[in-house]
Amino acid sequence: MSFQPLPDDEPGLSRLGISRPGPENLAPSRLAPSRLAPSRLAPSRLAPSRLAPDRRALSAGPWSAELVGDELAHISYLGRPVLRAVKAVVRDQDWRTPQPAVRTLEVTQDNGLLQARWTVRFAGHGVEYDGFLTADFTPAAVEIAFEGTAVHTFRSNRIGLVVLHPPGDAGRDVTVEHPDGGSTAAQFPNDISPHQPFMDIAALEWADADAGTAFRLSFTGDVFETEDQRNWTDGSFKTYSTPLARPFPVDVAAGDAVRQAVRLEAAIMDAGTVDAAIVDAGSLESQESTGAAAGTSAGRFAAGANGTPTRIAASLGPAAARVPRLAVGQDPGPECFPR
CATH number of the domain encompassing residue 172: 2.70.98.10
End position of a domain, from candidates 268, 283, 308: 268
What pTM, to 2 d.p., does this model score?
0.69
CA–CA separation, 94 and 25 (whole Å): 11
Asked whether 95 and 21 are in contact (CB, 8 A), the reply is yes
Identify residue 9 by its one-letter amino acid code. D
End position of a domain, from candidates 244, 268, 292: 268
CB atoms within 10 A of CB 64: 17
CA–CA separation, 261 and 259 (whole Å): 7
Q: Let me know if residue 44 belongs to a domain.
A: yes
- Mark whether 288 and 147 lie in a shared domain: no
211 SS3 class: helix
pLDDT of residue 198: 96
Q: Let me know if residue 5 belongs to a domain.
A: no
Asked whether 178 and 292 are in contact (CB, 8 A), the reply is no
- Mark whether 161 and 308 lie in a shared domain: no
- Mark whether 157 and 304 lie in a shared domain: no
- Mark whether 242 and 287 lie in a shared domain: no
Asked whether 53 and 46 are in contact (CB, 8 A), the reply is no
pLDDT of residue 229: 85
- Mark whether 134 and 216 lie in a shared domain: yes
Q: Let me know if residue 338 belongs to a domain.
A: no
Q: Let me know if residue 339 belongs to a domain.
A: no
Query: Helix-strand-coil percent breakdown of the chain, rounded to 5?
Result: 15, 45, 40
pLDDT of residue 209: 84
Per the structure, the count of domains in the chain is: 2
CA–CA separation, 235 and 324 (whole Å): 31
Q: What is the pLDDT along the chain (339 residues), one digit of tens a residue?
A: 444 444 444 444 343 344 444 444 434 443 344 333 333 434 444 545 566 789 999 999 999 999 999 999 999 999 999 999 999 999 999 999 999 999 999 999 999 899 999 999 999 999 999 999 999 999 999 999 999 999 999 999 999 999 999 999 999 999 999 999 999 999 999 999 989 999 999 999 999 988 899 999 999 999 999 999 898 878 899 999 988 999 999 999 999 999 999 999 999 744 542 333 223 333 333 333 334 333 434 433 544 433 444 444 444 444 444 443 333 333 444 333 333
End position of a domain, from candidates 253, 268, 283: 268
Q: Which of 259, 262, 224 is nearest to 24 (CA)?
A: 224
CA–CA separation, 13 and 97 (whole Å): 11
User: Which residues span the domain enclosing 292?
Assistant: 272-332
CA–CA separation, 215 and 199 (whole Å): 19
- Mark whether 308 and 178 lie in a shared domain: no
Please state, in angstroms and as integers, the Cα–Cα distance from residue 123 to each residue in 102, 150, 226, 285, following that order: 11, 11, 26, 49
